[in-house]
């Protein structure tokens, strides 16, 4: 068992501070992970506010979520992060936040949210112009993470061109990217569009 690289830990801590500044990780909500060069996954430990992650607030797990150190407890949704890394070899970072727009919009029903005509759609791969749309999957939340991940994989299998993100109903957003800056860009772009959709829903 080797220690986590200091740079990876600081990358996770910095991402947590950034999400906290935008109100996306209230209380102990949310989780953040990185795929390390040696194939291990560095992920936030359970129970910490992500805006104030201590130096020992991240830990290593394998691709199936098994902790390297048996005395440490990773985030409850580690299995969802590992599912992303198993499915998408290019993914190097994953983020999960709990914003008000994602929570409210996903509670209105439906199995997806369509976003179209937004300039920030260009933050997603294969969309060079705002004249595009994405269907963001919405899945019912489940405390059984293995069962929930199986449903996520069913969505991926049914529509392999889904964007690198999805929403858990009444819970929050998952996104991933080729590195932490890319994942943060996608989360910020998506949260901006969700905030716009929520504002539009309030219009008469």
- Would you list which residues are annotated within the binding site for Zn(2+)? 96, 98
CB 80 within 8 A of CB 153: no
Which phi and psi (to 5°) does residue 41 adopt?
A: -110, 125
**Residues that constitute the known binding site:** 96, 98
CA pair distance 24, 37, nearest whole angstrom? 28
Please count the residues of the chain.
204
Helix 145-158 / helix 78-87 crossing angle, nearest 10 deg: 30
CB 24 within 8 A of CB 99: yes
Q: Of 200, 57, 83, which is closest to residue 145 (Cα–Cα)?
A: 83
């Amino acid at each position: 068992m080797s220690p986590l690289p200091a740079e990876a830990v600081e990358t996770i801590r910095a991402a947590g501070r950034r999400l906290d500044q935008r109100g996306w990780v209230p209380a102990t909500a949310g989780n953040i992970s990185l795929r390390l060069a040696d194939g291990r996954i560095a992920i936030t430990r359970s129970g910490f506010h992500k805006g104030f992650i201590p130096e020992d607030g991240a830990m290593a797990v394998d691709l199936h979520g098994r902790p390297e150190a048996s005395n440490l407890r990773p985030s409850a949704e580690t299995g969802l992060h590992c599912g992303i890394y198993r499915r998408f070899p290019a993914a190097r970072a994953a983020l999960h936040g709990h914003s008000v727009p994602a929570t409210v919009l996903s509670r209105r029903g439906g199995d997806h949210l369509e976003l179209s005509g937004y300039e920030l759609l260009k933050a997603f791969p294969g969309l060079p112009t705002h004249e595009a749309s994405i269907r963001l999957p919405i899945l019912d939340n489940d405390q059984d993470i293995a069962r929930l991940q199986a449903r996520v994989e069913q969505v991926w299998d049914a529509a392999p061109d889904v964007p690198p993100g999805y929403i858990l109903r009444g819970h929050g957003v998952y996104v991933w990217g080729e590195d932490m800056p890319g994942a943060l860009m996608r989360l910020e772009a998506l949260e901006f569009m969700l905030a716009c959709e929520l504002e539009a829903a309030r219009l008469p």
